[in-house]
Structure 1
């Protein structure tokens, strides 16, 4: 299944892709939550979606605004330094344990929504990443069983304000400026992809030029490992997002560095998931 969250005027809803057509789930089930973070808390969410889809009318997805599919996740757990080639362009050594750090929902934007370059920095950078979304509570799960707790996947462009990221040993501030965390365009359930979303090409284009080009097989810690390791310390809950890291080619790794400016169009594409597109705008 592919499910999108949308806004139409003051109302919000969910849409389901059926073949080549999108169906308006919320028109068929008005009590359906429009935030997939909420929907996934229902253990029967797949049945709920299929039931609504059976009677949902067709809709034109281009006529609505796409929202971040997951807007109120209890946890957005990001992973740094998870591709060997990216580590080579960074000032860090390869970690023996995942470099986890938090994202906050206040930073999120959706597909085709503006990514905000802040007033106080000229170092807005792109990071194309795949997101694994938790579907059932996970605590002390083994690597072998970890994927049973993954509901599906989406795309993230983890806009990073580099000078603020490196002001301190931890990166939280530089990774959480308002309007810098693009997520979407939709959610793809795990059964549509290979286990662990392995073998998928991931690329980032800036103004049409490919800047990042890798494969999810290149991750140091794959999805199953990340879920298992994180669950040793943290109970992962339905709707939580694991943002799995970015490959080489980010702006700060180039010589000279290449940061985004107003008017730039950044696209992150992951094979069999989709394309997440955002245009950079100045903070007002």
Structure 2
């Protein structure tokens, strides 16, 4: 099953994607923050089925209370950064205002000349929990989505903390929808990032150093997880900053992230000044 958050006629809704249509769920108060049980119990409005082309998709989880990001979670990315293999997940936050929908443009801020890509699997929490055992972790997952952890490198490395380069407003595509766990094989699914038809990142989800159950368990040790919370699980090797010569996103580029069993997000890259207005974000 695929859950999509979307906007139509000025109202934000959630529905089930079937083919090229969306079947609305529940009423206008229902969001992915209601959790997996509420979404599964919500009535389907078959008579109000809508073509996907007629709605504006929102970020897969439009208003998460928490966004956790994991750095250095693929061996080839650790190697290209010349860092030591982490023994505990490298964590940093993002905010709801950072998120944009799949298909919304990535805007290049005028302050930076080093905007980089990071294709990632996103985990959306569906049931609340604290100190969740690893064996029970997947019971708390609503599903999986795709993210591009756009990183402003010249700001990221201003200090030893990464926040200012990772939490740029209106910069992080998340979507296009949430695919339930029964539809995604984490042991075989491939992940790849394509820049202007060139594959720049490619790996499989099985190569995560800290897998999804461990991340859910480790995070829930120090904070309660809530429905709608997002975990970005890290990026494979191949980021632009670590290439020789370095490669950064520029006006007119197209960047795409694909994960087998989930789908793809495709974003055009534009100069923020030229775009005229910021992409829609929620939070």
One fold, TM greater than 0.5?
A: yes
Task: State whether structure 2 residue 250 is matched by structure 1 residue 261.
Answer: yes
> Partner of 1:240 in structure 2?
229
* Native 8 Å contact 1:116 1:178 kept in 2: no
Deviation, 1:262, is 1.1
User: How many pairs align?
Assistant: 273
Q: Distance in 2 between matches of 1:136 and 1:10?
A: 28
Find the partner of 1:154 among 145, 166, 181.
145
SS at match of 2:225: coil
Q: Distance in 1 between matches of 2:207 and 2:82?
A: 19
TM-score, normalised by the number of residues in structure 2 = 0.92
Q: Distance in 2 between matches of 1:257 and 1:71?
A: 33
* Native 8 Å contact 2:5 2:62 kept in 1: no
SS at match of 1:230: helix
Deviation, 1:134, is 1.1
Task: State whether structure 2 residue 145 is matched by structure 1 residue 145.
Answer: no
> Partner of 1:10 in structure 2?
10
SS at match of 1:89: helix
SS at match of 2:78: helix
Find the partner of 2:40 among 30, 43, 46.
46
Q: Distance in 2 between matches of 1:252 and 1:130?
A: 20
> Partner of 1:22 in structure 2?
21
Runs of 4+ aligned structure 1 residues displaced above 4 Å come to none
Structure 2 gap segments, 5+ residues each = 274-283
* Native 8 Å contact 2:67 2:96 kept in 1: yes
Find the partner of 2:197 among 205, 208, 211.
208
Q: Distance in 1 between matches of 2:87 and 2:7?
A: 42
What whole-Å deviation, never above 9, does each CA across 1:191-235 have from its counterpart, x for those lacking one?
2223xx332100000111110010000100000011111111111
TM-score, normalised by the number of residues in structure 1 = 0.91
Task: State whether structure 2 residue 165 is matched by structure 1 residue 174.
Answer: yes
* Native 8 Å contact 2:61 2:124 kept in 1: no
Deviation, 1:32, is 4.3
> Partner of 2:113 in structure 1?
122
* Native 8 Å contact 2:102 2:175 kept in 1: yes
* Native 8 Å contact 1:25 1:56 kept in 2: no
SS at match of 2:44: helix
* Native 8 Å contact 2:106 2:268 kept in 1: yes
What whole-Å deviation, never above 9, does each CA across 1:43-93 have from its counterpart, x for those lacking one?
432111xx225x343322122221102121111000000000001111421
Find the partner of 2:260 among 245, 252, 271.
271
SS at match of 1:45: helix
Q: Greater CA deviation, 58-67 or 92-101?
A: 58-67
> What's the C-alpha RMSD, in Å, of the aligned pairs?
1.5
Structure 1 gap segments, 5+ residues each = none
